[in-house]
Amino acid sequence: MKIIRQPGKMSVEMRKCRRAGKSIGLVPTMGALHEGHFSLIRKARKENDIVAVSIFVNPAQFGPGEDFKKYPRQSGKDTVYCRRMGADFVFSPCAKDMYPEGYSTFVNVDGLSDALCGSSRPGHFRGVATVLSKLFNIVLPDTVYMGQKDAQQSVIVSRMARDLNFPLKVKVSPTVRGKDGLALSSRNTYLKEKDRASAAVLFKSLKLAETMVKNGQRNSARIIKSMKNLIEKNAAPRIDYIKIVDRRNLKAVQKVKSGDLIALAVRFGRTRLIDNTIIKDT
How far apart, in whole angstroms, are the C-alpha atoms of residue 216 and residue 273? 29
Mean pLDDT of the chain: 96
pTM for the whole thing? 0.96
pLDDT at residue 45 in the model = 98
Judged against a pLDDT cut of 80, whether residue 59 lies above it is answered with: yes
Give the tens place of pLDDT for each residue, 240-263: 999 999 999 999 999 999 999 999
Q: Average of pLDDT values for 198-224?
A: 97
pLDDT at residue 20 in the model = 98
Confidence of residue 79 (pLDDT cuts 50, 70, 90): very high
pLDDT at residue 281 in the model = 75
Confidence of residue 282 (pLDDT cuts 50, 70, 90): low
Q: Average of pLDDT values for 64-76?
A: 94
pLDDT at residue 2 in the model = 98
Instruction: Pick the catalytic residue from 37, 134, 149, 272.
Output: 37
For each of the domains in the chain, give its residue range(s) and CATH number, in order of start.
2-173 (3.40.50.620), 186-276 (3.30.1300.10)
Start-end of H helices in the chain: 7-19, 35-47, 75-85, 95-98, 117-120, 124-139, 151-163, 193-198, 201-214, 220-234
pLDDT at residue 188 in the model = 95
> Do the beta carbons of residue 143 and residue 171 sit within 8 Å?
yes
pLDDT at residue 277 in the model = 98
How far apart, in whole angstroms, are the C-alpha atoms of residue 42 and residue 282? 32
Give the tens place of pLDDT for each residue, 145-190: 999 999 999 999 999 999 999 999 999 999 999 999 999 999 999 9
Confidence of residue 236 (pLDDT cuts 50, 70, 90): confident
Q: Angle 151-163/124-139 helices, nearest 10 degrees?
A: 60
264-276 CB burial, b ≥16 within 10 A, e <16: bbbebeebbbbbb
Q: Any catalytic annotation for residue 34? A: no
| CA dist 134 → 24, 54, 63, 102, 163 (Å) | 16, 11, 20, 16, 15
Q: Which of 49, 55, 98, 61 shows the shortest CA–CA distance to 73?
A: 55
Judged against a pLDDT cut of 90, whether residue 122 lies above it is answered with: yes
> What residues contact residue 179 under an 8 Å CB cut-off, 6+ apart?
none
